[in-house]
Amino acid sequence: MGGQGRLGMMQPPVIILKEGSDQSQGKGQLLSNIGACTSIVSCVASTLGPRGMDKLIVNDRGQATISNDGATILKLLEIVHPAARTLVDIARAQDAEVGDGTTSVVLLAGEMLKESKQFIEEGVAPHIIIKGYRKAAQLAVQKVKDMAITIDKSDKAAFHDLLLKCAGTSMSSKLIVSQKGFFSKMVVDAVLSLDQDDLDENLIGTKKVPGGGMQDSLLIKGVAFKKTFAYAGFEQQPKSFVNPKVLCLNVELELKAEKDNAEVRINEVSEYQAIVDAEWQIIYAKLEAIVKTGAKVVLSKLPIGDLATQYFADRDIFCAGRVAADDLKRVVKAVGGSVQSTTSDINEKHLGSCGKFEERQIGGERFNIFEECANAKTCTMILRGGAEQFIAEVERSLHDSIMIVKRAIKNNQIVAGGGATEMELSKYLRDYARTIQGKQQLIISAFAKSLECIPRQLADNAGFDATDLLNRLRMKHAQGSQWEGIDIEGECTSDLMEKFVWEPALVRINALSSAAEAACLILSVDETIRNQQSEKPNPGPKAPPGTAQRALRGRGRGGLPRR
């Protein structure tokens, strides 16, 4: 009975997860996640700041990308570690929300996790660390808001100067730093040409033309797009107009044989001729309706065939078919009017107008350019340069600057860059930590220490003695110099507010909040369950029909070969 009782107590193991599932948990899993995030940080750390290095990433198709933009690098790395992907997400969020500071946010999150590692190894519960980090992040964000300097928008000259400084600061770590003044002015003019209520950056078109130098880039205060597919008769059309009316269509102006769309049964040849005549009448009716509107420039999303092109050329009208949807949207925004889906009943209000239209050669491309538009709420940047990878990186750099200028217009509070803000926050949080007791004091001090990674990395990337400069920064901030940061040009520390190294306070606030949130999220995970990918059994090569029967016929009972 005793033996039977003991056997009865032995329960078989309960299998919950599918066979092949990988299950990791506990302190080891936490430390593994932190290690994965730290290795991600080491990939992008060297790209931070004016002396940051670029990364050359080659994908599986052999396409090469050269960039030092944190979000771009992390996106191209195709990271598969589930915890490390959190850092990719915060870099993308920072890029979408603010546009700049993508490397900084990844560095901060990684450093916060690195500082928390010692507490986890000593057995501190992750939730105590999370509580401390959340409190520290809240205090840091409030401190940035308190110390930020507000620029008066009513003084147009001073505000324009602020925008130029902010654009220049975001470019100082990019490839285009040598032409910082030229591109800063281009970016500020581009953003100021938009509708100031919504500031839709998608209305700033960017066209890349290989060849020439960076300073050959130009800003069109209107719309420019590459010459579209040209039909016979295109070269006979006029290529320049002053004060033309512009008609935008979503209509196909091509002679279409109705046999493609319908079935027609006829008894006589004359009936067939009547159908052909009707097809010609339909297209001519459309073309006549367009000419009667008085429009001198006709654009369409759909093809404009050779018949229509020649028809317009004979009447001194310029036309372009297959115009990209985003280009046509920007044309409508610039010249006014609206996109018409029919050629009947087009009135004056449906047409747009611009001061000057011309087709111009830029580098190896021909561009259709609309300038001096009636209500220009859009613009186009035409970027020049040597290699295509270089122009692509210039475009990414300008996108960051456009987003920074957009944020500075909407939120006119600024702080100094160069690690000055982080050092002041670090000093403030250390002072606060001394006023409380318990484990939280150590955790908030660790958060304060993690903020120092930004000035340290800036100094390291520039080849300076980081320990010496950090000690000097700590001393200066303790003495009350709140804008003291790493001066790359002077290879020392200096007041970066006076040196005009400015950036919107929103960049720092967003970076701190996102980094703390990502660190807390990773610290709250103590188990990873990875389901094995289901694989279909490989059936092997398919046998020809009748093979199985023939094979069986040649065998006796039990599948043995017959003698």
Q: Which residues are catalytic?
A: 69, 102-103, 400
Which of 402, 405, 407 is closest to 204 using CA atoms? 402
Q: Which letter, b or e, does each residue of 431-446 get, where b requires 16 or more Cβ atoms within 10 Å of its Cβ?
A: ebbeeeeeebebbbbb
Contact of 193 with 376, CB cutoff 8 Å: yes
505: tokens are 């306070």
Determine the Cα–Cα distance for residues 191 and 377; give it in Å rounded to an integer: 10
Provide Rg for the chain, Cα atoms.
Answer: 33
Do the strands 484-487 and 218-220 form a parallel or antiparallel pair, or are they unpaired? unpaired
Three-point CA angle 305, 309, 312, nearest 5°:
140
Q: Of the candidates 217, 228, 249, 237, which has an alpha carbon nearest to the alpha carbon of residue 331? A: 249
150 touches 60 (CB < 8 A): no
Which two three-digit tokens encode residue 368?
């259709």
Is 188 in contact with 167 (CB distance < 8 Å)? yes
* DSSP secondary structure, 359-395, as one string: EEEETTEEEEEEEEETT---EEEEEEESSHHHHHHHH
Residues paired with residue 528 on neighbouring β-strands, in sequence order: 24
- DSSP state string for 202-251: GGEEEEEEEBS-GGG-EEESEEEEE-----TTGGGS--EEES-EEEEE--
Q: In angstroms, what CA-CA distances link 8 with 12, 13, 52?
A: 10, 14, 68
119 CB neighbour count, 10 Å cutoff: 19
Cα 293–Cα 296–Cα 298 angle in degrees, nearest 5 = 85
Per-residue tokens: 166: 């902010």
CB 245 within 8 A of CB 353: yes
Q: Where are the alpha helices (DSSP H) in 45-121?
A: 70-77, 85-97, 102-121
- Tell me if residue 22 falls in helix, strand or coil: strand
* Secondary structure (H, E, C), 249-314: ECCCECCCCHHHCCCCCCCCHHHHHHHHHHHHHHHHHHHHHHHHCCCCEEEECCCECHHHHHHHHH
- b/e per residue 522-541 (b: at least 16 CB within 10 A): bbeeeeeeeeeeeeeeeeee
